């Protein structure tokens, strides 16, 4: 069976969806009886390093963007050329350009949709895109969702419940480089503090302002480390300064991948303070769980975040947009840290490994024969 992963971007362009597409492609390439290729857009087009992979990556250059959606005429042409060479077309959504390509030139093979998220923010795009979205949903054989909550609560997916298959995202943190010197440096720097770690793009739906507010409610022997950058970096820095929290809240900026494991291992609790369903899953929670770290996250309607972090098992779930609830959750988790740490690692090992995700995907493909 030959499979095409149709992703918006692909590493080294990084993001949550891109990482899932990469992990699936790598996993399939190493399995027996399956072949895989990748089709995507790319800011620079073809990349020399693609030759090291045991499969083809068709990268088509972007010429413009519309409603934050990359456009590429060459991708349409490449799709038309290769579309009937595959038994399964695995489309990672949201990706309006991919849906347009499939609509213009339908394939002979089965279409599997990986529904990472509804189109939430781009209301104007959705207004024009809805007919195509309906077409691809009806044309698809199966729709993969990453949590049962999202599959059940998405208004768009309600008419297609018979097609839904839940396959949670899985990660492999064993490949993260271990930097014991940096880990010890972090622990030494905050040796008398309980370390709260958070990580993500500094955008509206991450709710980092509430975590900063929560720091005011935390005892003095707590420190909050926030990794990541984004459009809200300046306003968050200002918030830290205005609240005189420069010793208690540290904005780390972008953290190199080679350093991530050190922060996960050094922290006492991981906090995901997101406030909007644009946070559909929260992969960073999985990374923290793999290092046996307890979680504090939020109960976002129509999101799988609180399904990943099981309340009173892997950590504490609080209501979004509530700084005091976040602070109380952090303190409560650390009062039972050993229990939640064991629960987090056990749930990760049984639900969220990369190997399990890939095997479930391969099983789904096999059922399409």
What is the pLDDT at residue 127?
72
Where in the sequence is the domain holding 298, given as residue range(s)? 173-351
Domain match, 209 and 190 both: yes
Domain match, 103 and 237 both: no
Q: What is the CATH number of the domain that holds 315?
A: 3.40.50.2000
R_g of the chain, CA atoms, integer Å: 21
Do residues 144 and 112 make contact, with C-beta atoms less than 8 angstroms apart? yes
Domain match, 151 and 228 both: no
The total of structural domains in the chain comes to 2
Give the pLDDT confidence of 74-115 residue by residue, as tens digits.
Answer: 999 999 999 999 999 999 999 999 999 999 999 999 999 999
Domain match, 117 and 158 both: yes
Give the pLDDT confidence of 234-279 residue by residue, as tens digits.
Answer: 999 999 999 999 999 999 999 998 999 999 999 999 999 999 988 9
Domain match, 78 and 219 both: no
Do residues 107 and 25 make contact, with C-beta atoms less than 8 angstroms apart? no
Domain match, 205 and 135 both: no
Domain match, 73 and 207 both: no
Burial 90-113 (b: 16+ CB within 10 A, else e): bbbbbbbbbbbbbeeeebebbbbb
Domain match, 44 and 159 both: yes
- ∠ CA 133-62-22, rounded to 5°: 70
What is the pLDDT at residue 100?
95
Domain match, 196 and 47 both: no
Peptide bond into 76 cis (omega under 30): no
Q: What is the pLDDT along the chain (369 residues), one digit of tens a residue?
A: 999 999 999 999 877 889 999 999 999 998 877 899 999 999 999 998 898 898 999 999 999 887 778 899 999 999 999 999 999 999 999 999 999 999 999 999 999 999 998 876 666 666 778 899 999 999 999 999 999 999 998 989 999 999 999 999 999 998 899 999 999 999 999 999 999 999 999 999 999 999 999 999 999 999 999 999 999 999 999 999 999 999 999 999 999 989 999 999 999 999 999 999 889 899 999 999 999 999 999 999 989 999 999 999 999 999 999 999 999 999 999 999 999 999 999 999 999 999 999 999 999 999 997
What is the pLDDT at residue 175?
87
Domain match, 10 and 109 both: yes
Domain match, 314 and 347 both: yes
Domain match, 94 and 118 both: yes
């Amino acid at each position: 069976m030959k499979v095409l992963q149709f992703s918006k971007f692909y590493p080294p362009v990084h993001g949550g969806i891109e990482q899932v597409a990469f992990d699936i492609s790598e996993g399939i390439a190493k399995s027996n009886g399956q072949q895989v290729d990748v089709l995507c857009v790319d800011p620079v087009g073809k990349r020399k390093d693609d030759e090291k992979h045991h499969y083809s990556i068709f990268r088509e250059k972007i010429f413009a963007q519309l409603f934050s959606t990359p456009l590429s005429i060459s991708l349409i042409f490449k799709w038309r050329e290769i579309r009937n060479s595959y038994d399964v077309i695995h489309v990672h959504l949201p990706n309006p350009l991919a849906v347009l390509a499939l609509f213009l030139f339908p394939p002979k093979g089965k279409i599997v949709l990986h529904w990472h998220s509804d189109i939430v923010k781009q209301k104007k795009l959705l207004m024009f895109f809805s007919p195509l979205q309906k077409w691809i949903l009806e044309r698809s054989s199966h729709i993969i969702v990453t949590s049962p909550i999202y599959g059940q609560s998405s208004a768009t997916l309600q008419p297609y419940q018979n097609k839904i298959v839940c396959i949670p995202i899985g990660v492999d943190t064993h490949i993260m480089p271990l930097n014991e010197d940096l880990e010890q440096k972090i622990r030494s720097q905050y040796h008398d503090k309980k370390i709260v770690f958070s990580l993500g793009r500094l955008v509206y739906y991450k709710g980092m302002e509430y975590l900063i507010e929560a720091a005011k409610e935390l005892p003095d022997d707590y420190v909050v480390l926030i990794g990541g950058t984004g459009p809200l970096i300046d306003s968050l820095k200002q918030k830290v300064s205005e609240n005189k929290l420069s010793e208690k809240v540290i904005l780390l900026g972008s953290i190199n991948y080679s350093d991530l494991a050190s922060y996960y291992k050094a922290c006492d609790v991981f906090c995901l303070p997101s406030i909007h369903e644009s946070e559909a899953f929260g992969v960073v929670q999985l990374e923290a769980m793999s290092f046996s770290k307890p979680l504090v996250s939020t109960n976002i309607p129509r999101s799988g975040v609180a399904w990943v972090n099981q309340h009173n098992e892997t950590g504490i779930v609080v209501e979004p947009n509530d700084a005091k609830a976040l602070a109380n959750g952090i303190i409560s988790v650390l009062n039972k840290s050993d229990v939640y740490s064991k629960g987090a690692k056990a749930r990760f090992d049984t639900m969220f490994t990369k190997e399990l995700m890939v095997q479930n995907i391969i099983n789904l493909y096999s059922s399409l024969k």
